[in-house]
Amino acid sequence: MRVVAVPNLKDNYAYLVIEGARAAVVDPGEAAPIEQALAREGVTLGAIWLTHHHADHVGGVAALVAKRPGIEVVAHAHDRERAPHVTNAVEHEATVELDGLRATIIYNPGHTLGAISYWISGSDGAVFTGDTMFGAGCGRLFEGTAAAMHASLSRLASLPETTRVYFGHEYTASNLRFAAAVEPNNPAIAARASALREPSTPSTVADERATNPFVRVGEPAVIAAARARGASDDPVSVLAAIRAWKDSFK
């Protein structure tokens, strides 16, 4: 398996997940960069995997499908009518396959009610998280709740620590600035920030466990920062408080 990050729109990432001569594309926000990447990599498109219905993640689907009638388009069942051209509406722990690739669906609502990740296990493991888990951050709670996001991030953070995390936006630098405000004495955050290069994708599950404040809601420093903003020690309350803080953080 090879993964090729494809920048598109302002700060989005789509991904070609390549096995042999074919690829699945994750979250094509626009079609032209995907077509260019397919040609550059010398592969054909065999499937479209969507993490959620937002336009910046699905905007290229119609044009890609128009050139490839009948291509599989995967989304969560909740997004069956909200994402375009869906042919395979999946639930948690379903699997999708393309040639030798097999990805397990992880249902992770919070950002949206139909958000999913695609996890490819093994020594070359990877997870495509859309706008649920970012590098050192998480998505805004547009449709879901803090409780749902906490459960979703906990599920992703429980994957093997070497799993590569391919996220939907290049927000890592600003997320690390916020993480440093939450945990100013965390050396892992400082080290990650000093070594940061763009593109910052992928990170790893180990990186997120060490530096992502939305994953680290059980850590004393994160709890203390949240309590200063009215939270209790409960992890959902902590996440809600720091998510609200992040929404207005400059």
Among the listed residues 152, 148, 165, the one whose alpha carbon sits nearest the alpha carbon of residue 210: 165
Overall average pLDDT of the 29-38 stretch:
98
Number of domains the chain contains: 1
Overall average pLDDT of the 211-236 stretch:
98
**Residue written as tokens 């959620």?**
52
- Predicted confidence at residue 244, as pLDDT, reads 98
Are 127 and 134 spatial neighbours (Cβ–Cβ below 8 Å)? no
User: Domain containing 38: what range?
Assistant: 2-247
Answer whether residue 221 shows pLDDT above 90: yes
- Predicted confidence at residue 139, as pLDDT, reads 98
Could you report the per-residue pLDDT of 51-66, keeping only the tens digit for each? 999 999 999 999 999 9
Torsion of CA 240, 207, 191, 235, to 10 degrees: 20
Confidence bin at 123 (pLDDT 50/70/90): confident
The C-alpha atoms of residue 101 and residue 13 are separated, in whole angstroms, by: 20
Among the listed residues 133, 137, 170, 134, the one whose alpha carbon sits nearest the alpha carbon of residue 152: 133
The C-alpha atoms of residue 231 and residue 249 are separated, in whole angstroms, by: 17
Overall average pLDDT of the 207-233 stretch:
98
CATH number at residue 57: 3.60.15.10
Would you give the distance in Å from CA 241 to the centre of its chain?
21
Query: What share of the chain in percent tops pLDDT 90?
Result: 98
Average pLDDT of the chain is 98
Answer whether residue 25 shows pLDDT above 90: yes
Among the listed residues 46, 47, 64, the one whose alpha carbon sits nearest the alpha carbon of residue 8: 64
Query: Which phi and psi angles does 91 have, rounded to 5°?
Result: -120, 175
Is the alpha carbon torsion for 45, 47, 49, 50 positive or negative? positive
- Predicted confidence at residue 15, as pLDDT, reads 99
Answer whether residue 121 shows pLDDT above 90: yes
Query: Which phi and psi angles does 178 have, rounded to 5°?
Result: -65, -45
Half-sphere exposure of 115 (CA within 13 A, CB side): 29
**Active-site residues: which are they?**
52, 54, 56-57, 111, 131, 169
Could you report the per-residue pLDDT of 165-205, keeping only the tens digit for each? 999 999 999 999 999 999 999 999 999 999 999 999 999 99
Q: What's the token pair of residue 75? A: 């989304």
Confidence bin at 80 (pLDDT 50/70/90): very high
The C-alpha atoms of residue 73 and residue 249 are separated, in whole angstroms, by: 36
- 0.95 surpassed by pTM: yes
Answer whether residue 216 shows pLDDT above 90: yes
* Residue 136 φ/ψ region, left for φ over 0, alpha for ψ in the -120 to 50 degree band, beta for the rest: left
Query: What share of the chain in percent tops pLDDT 70?
Result: 100
**In this structure, what DSSP letter does residue 229 have?**
T
- Predicted confidence at residue 250, as pLDDT, reads 84
Confidence bin at 111 (pLDDT 50/70/90): very high
Confidence bin at 124 (pLDDT 50/70/90): confident
Are 22 and 41 spatial neighbours (Cβ–Cβ below 8 Å)? no
CB neighbour class for 123 (10 Å; exposed up to 12, middle 13-18, buried from 19)? exposed
Overall average pLDDT of the 212-237 stretch:
98
**Residue written as tokens 């700060």?**
11
